[in-house]
Amino acid sequence: ATGAHVPALVIGTGYGGSVAALRLAQAGVDVHMIEMGMAWDTPGPDGKIFCNTLEPDHRSYWLRTRTKAPLNYFLGFPIDRNISRYTGILDAEDFGGITVYQGRGVGGGSLVNGGMAVTPRRENFGAVLPSVNADEMYDIYYPRANAELGVGTVDPAWFDSAACYQYARVGRKHAQRSGFPFVFVPDVYDWDYMEREAAGTVTKSALAGEILYGNNHGKKSLQQTYLARARATGKVAISPLHKVTSVAPAAGGGYTVVIDQINTSGDTTATKTVTADRVFFAAGSVGTSKLLVKLKATGALPNLNDEVGKGWGDNGNVMCGRANHLWDPTGKLQSAIPCSGIDNWAAGGAFAEVAPLPTGIETYASFYLSITKNPNRARFSWNAATGKVDLDWQTSWKQPSIDMAKTIFDKINAKEGTIYRTDLFGVYKIWGDHLTYHPLGGAVLNKATDGYGRLTGHPGLYVIDGSLIPGNTSVNPFVTITALAERNIEKIIATDL
């Protein structure tokens, strides 16, 4: 309520925010988490909390009247459909040159993502977080993050026989015939549950096309892991459908935080002002960057340094499909949870996840999301005329990613005598180069903050999410975001409280 005072306020309930909340609470600190999205704890009229990718309804998108599916064409036809405007779970946020997909709700990106839980290869870590001690990360914080997140790997024997992973076995065969290392990718999905889905003994989720708009079963999102344990301390409160709009030094010390309460149409219904001794920015790379850039430019937090808003990257995301021969069907039943990838990082700068196309029909397509070593970095800046934050990413900056992905797929196509699909992202368009699932950076560690996420110039303000990471993690990012948050909050609790 307005006028309240909280020791620690956390903006956002994704990975960084959930780690901060749990560890602060365990250290005896009362925590209040503010989340602009919904709680996602109540079934809709169909008895389900989340809707399906095959039948997206109002629950699918954040304040849109038409879906904006990442893969938006099939056989050359657009597949998006009209929906009613609602505070749905997936935000397709448009900037000039890129659409950035993000989760909205209690649990952040963990609600919508594929759960691929990948620790970077150690030899690549120096480029991921140059100022962080790798020994500590690999000895303590990566293992801690993996354990808390509940990371596991598909049983290889089951994988070899499961109909729902035929697409991944085709991916393996093609990768290996071209000499590329094929790797199993760990995931937070409950693999035992998935085996029971395949056996027909439990309600299907991954095997019913659930992904992107939430999983009703099987996936260990933050709601089941960090946030459950944070709540169990009795010291963490969460306010969903509340959006932080301002943070500024308070007269008597601490910070004044202004929060809009919104309804499910996105309209502000109340504005509240609280004070907090400490504020943790965990609104995600885009959310935290937008807030900090605005607060610096408008004078609310004048002492932030000039690194704020810089160093943003897309983790080199680019998508493509390949058209297989008729003797290489990928299966009409596909698990929506990916479990494997092709690692050509060292030689070609690309790590390609063998991704599902869970359409329910045989497509003869192999589909891939590649993470590449794209060197381009963009900057957020305040646009006083529109009162919004812009991002200067250009669509053409994806070309290095396309070139790196081609080091894998040109070779596979040549070996297999196959071609790229041209019908998945438009009419005669091969590359899904208009989007990212993995925004990173904007408040980079040791630049906008000190070596542990303390914002320069304003004691008591911290960044603890993906915005700390300078644009690329070489693999899917959430394990690194979680492990870095564990490292930073441990130091902050030991020295600042």
**108 vs 349, which CB is nearer to ligand FDA?**
108
> Could you tell me the smallest distance in angstroms from the CB atom of residue 127 to ligand FDA?
17
Q: How many CB atoms lie within 10 A of CB 15?
A: 32
> Could you tell me the smallest distance in angstroms from the CB atom of residue 485 to ligand FDA?
7
**13 vs 335, which CB is nearer to ligand FDA?**
13
Is residue 136 among the annotated active site residues?
no
Is residue 353 among the annotated active site residues?
yes
Tokens standing for residue 312? 């943003």
Q: Which of 210, 353, 416, 486 is catalytic?
A: 353
> Could you tell me the smallest distance in angstroms from the CB atom of residue 416 to ligand FDA?
26
> Could you tell me the smallest distance in angstroms from the CB atom of residue 176 to ligand FDA?
23
**172 vs 243, which CB is nearer to ligand FDA?**
243
**99 vs 407, which CB is nearer to ligand FDA?**
99
> Could you tell me the smallest distance in angstroms from the CB atom of residue 179 to ligand FDA?
26
> Could you tell me the smallest distance in angstroms from the CB atom of residue 92 to ligand FDA?
9
Residues in a beta bridge with 455: 449
Q: Which of 438, 458, 486, 490 is catalytic?
A: 438
Chain contacts with ligand FDA (rule: CB under 6 A) = 11-16, 34-37, 101-105, 108-109, 112-116, 212, 243-244, 282-285, 287, 291, 437-438, 465-466, 476-478, 481
**114 vs 331, which CB is nearer to ligand FDA?**
114
**115 vs 432, which CB is nearer to ligand FDA?**
115
Residues designated as active site: 353, 438
